[in-house]
Structure 1
Amino acid sequence: MAEHNRIAVAGAGNLGLQVIKALVRASYPVTVLTRSLNHKPLDVDESADVKYATVDYASRSSLTTALQGHLGVVSTITSTAIGQQDTLIDAAAAAGVRRFIPAEFGSDMANPKTQVLPVYGFKAAAQAKLLEVAKFHTSFTWTAVRNGVFLDWGLQYKFLLNQQDRSITIFDDGEEPWTTTTLATVGKAVVGVFQHLDETKDRAVYIHDTVLTQKKLLQLAKAVDTASGQEWKVDYANSEEHLKKCMDVLANNPSEEQVGQTMYGLLPLSIYTKGYGGDSSSKSDNALLGIQTMTDAEVRAVVAGNTGKA
């Protein structure tokens, strides 16, 4: 594909790697922004048109130079560094980048209850920054990708449940539906955005591989664990009480460690709790972006193939 279609990807972790691989498969030239060339992502086709640019994420001039001549920027930087997106957004606009995809991947930030959860403060700020910059740079546009919780990541890192210890915490009755997507499908959606620039201009797109409930996920996990014959430990949490507990911690001069733990603890509310928009399937852009939902057998295979990291 022509050089003027080059896409820069900021961050090459779990999600960033899948975005890079999807862009490469679609024949987009890619630039990986990195703090150090010692941190090149693994498992990328060596024959692909992938360049590496060492940047200082705190320096607008460093980023602007690296982003010259790029069609788009995809930010997949981690939550601990997400506050640096302002500089990246400013640099992208200054470099003439046409499309910016922020590191918003996850819950529905259009939902009023989700918007005000402290854990999403940086994402809300990035959205406001994009709107502000777009006012002054008419060629600069953005797209947010909202995919719900990452299914494979959530299983691997024991966020959705713990298949190794056979345990789960169910919020309320466990029957609230929520959309979920694998990292690879998010990569496909990013490609779809660049293939449909007009249709995805200055808005969020919604994608999902499947819609689950906590109880359905537990059933799937039990179904792939029949050989063990062991019982699952099921705890229950009340969403309102959980929210109050988290907010009380944040209001009482918490340590840095407590802040991190509490922010992580707020994430389930936007997924499992009624009224937080966890199920965004009614807004789906799957058809536009070329994404097919998974069959029950495919979902079960993901559950079976992601039993958790030790």
Structure 2
Amino acid sequence: MFRFLLSLYIQTIQFSVPSDRMSTYKSFALVGGGTIGLPIVNALAATKVPVILLSRSSEAKAVPSNVQVIKVDYDNADAIAKVLKEHNVDVVVSTLTTMAAAAQKTVVDASKLAGIKLFVPSEFGLPTEGYTEGPLGDKAHIAKYLTSVGIPSTRIFTGSFVQLIPWLLGGNGKAQIIGKGDTPFSTTSIPDIAGFVAHILTTLPPSELENRIFRLEGERVTMNGLAAQFKATPEYVDKLTDRGEHEGFLNFLVSAIEDGKASTGWNGVKEGTGADAAGTGNAAWPGHHWQTVKEVHNL
């Protein structure tokens, strides 16, 4: 059911791209073609910039005709660097899953060998500041590693994907909630994330992208508020149960929500303010309408 929902949302994504865009960077490579990777590929391809998709799998990907899919070994830095050089890639965007975040290190090494100008690590989700272990700790380590090898990076915190909220709640007319369920957190839709990535990478100068964190927020919600929108009966628990193969990650995510760590304004210690507040990154895409939970799920 989880994969089915994702496939439906990915297939229906559409992008509106202004015709007068000017690309700052000239060529792009996406690493990983999954839930967020394929939408970003489509959004970039719509701007008519050269884009390649690097994938571990040889399976056919549903990409535009102007995107070349290249099978690579994520453990072979030299081989990846060769591909990046052959295609004169300026920017690498990694969309490897949270559970595979540590695998980005080899891709970073390849990017260094290839002289990549900007690296966008797979941060799409909760803020990773302050984490030292686990999947989010792996993401934080990659951010530090990029700095250590001298590759400028753009990190994008999005909060939970709006499309995955039914999966987050649990379904069957109930919503499993750890804690009180009143802590606000950030959600952003997949099309908005993809469009944002394409927009900033093709319109903003390097000075506004290098070593920058963008804190997006399509809508600020609470678990109780979501339960009400989906007409689900709240079930307050200490631990989520009967949630299948992703139960461990779901427990981590819903606990993080209750603790305030799922707001994109979270800075590792507390909720940020000013330039570090949740949603401040939205300003980099002026005039854009950010989809709400109600709009995405036709509530």
TM-score range, shorter chain: 0.7 to 0.9
**CA distance in structure 2 between the aligned counterparts of 1:102 and 1:95, rounded to whole angstroms:** 16
**Structure 2 match to 1:90:** 109
Quick one: which of 99, 103, 113 aligns to 2:122? 103
The 8 Å contact of residues 117 and 266 in structure 1, kept in 2 or not, is answered as no
**Structure 2 match to 1:72:** 91
Q: CA RMSD in A?
A: 2.6
TM-score normalised by L of structure 2: 0.78
Quick one: which of 198, 221, 234 aligns to 2:207? 198
**CA distance in structure 2 between the aligned counterparts of 1:119 and 1:54, rounded to whole angstroms:** 25
User: Is structure 2 residue 52 aligned with structure 1 residue 10?
Assistant: no
User: Is structure 2 residue 106 aligned with structure 1 residue 128?
Assistant: no
Q: How does 1:134-149 map onto structure 2 within 5 Å? A: 134=150, 140-149=151-160
Quick one: which of 193, 196, 210 aligns to 1:189? 196
Q: Please, which moves more after superposition, 25-34 or 277-286? A: 277-286
**CA distance in structure 2 between the aligned counterparts of 1:277 and 1:153, rounded to whole angstroms:** 14
**Structure 2 match to 1:41:** 61
| DSSP-derived class of the 1:41 partner | coil
Q: Cα 1:264–1:220, aligned 2, differ >3 Å: closer, same or farther?
A: closer
- Could you give the per-residue CA deviations for residues 10-65 of structure 1, whole angstroms, max 9, x where no partner exists? 1111111110111112222110002243x2321x332xx21122211100111101
**CA distance in structure 1 between the aligned counterparts of 2:90 and 2:188, rounded to whole angstroms:** 26
The 8 Å contact of residues 168 and 233 in structure 1, kept in 2 or not, is answered as yes
**Structure 2 match to 1:236:** 236
Q: Cα 1:277–1:79, aligned 2, differ >3 Å: closer, same or farther?
A: closer
**CA distance in structure 2 between the aligned counterparts of 1:4 and 1:304, rounded to whole angstroms:** 37
Residue 174 of structure 1: how far off its partner (Å): 1.4
Q: Cα 1:24–1:272, aligned 2, differ >3 Å: closer, same or farther?
A: farther
| DSSP-derived class of the 2:208 partner | coil
Instruction: Kindly name which structure, 1 or 2, has the bigger radius of gyration based on alpha carbons.
Output: 1
* One-letter amino acid of the structure 2 residue matched with residue 65 of structure 1: K
Residue 88 of structure 1: how far off its partner (Å): 0.1
* One-letter amino acid of the structure 1 residue matched with residue 144 of structure 2: A
Quick one: which of 74, 80, 85 aligns to 1:63? 80
Residue 119 of structure 1: how far off its partner (Å): 3.8
| DSSP-derived class of the 1:278 partner | coil
**Structure 2 match to 1:303:** 297
Q: Is there any run of 5+ residues in structure 1 with no aligned partner, and where?
A: 135-139, 223-231, 246-256, 306-310
Residue 117 of structure 1: how far off its partner (Å): 6.0
**CA distance in structure 2 between the aligned counterparts of 1:237 and 1:292, rounded to whole angstroms:** 38
| DSSP-derived class of the 1:57 partner | coil
Of all paired residues, the percent bearing the same amino acid is 24
Q: Is there any run of 5+ residues in structure 2 with no aligned partner, and where?
A: 1-21, 266-276
Q: Cα 1:80–1:116, aligned 2, differ >3 Å: closer, same or farther?
A: closer
* One-letter amino acid of the structure 2 residue matched with residue 285 of structure 1: G
| DSSP-derived class of the 1:266 partner | helix
Q: Cα 1:81–1:299, aligned 2, differ >3 Å: closer, same or farther?
A: closer
The 8 Å contact of residues 12 and 41 in structure 1, kept in 2 or not, is answered as yes
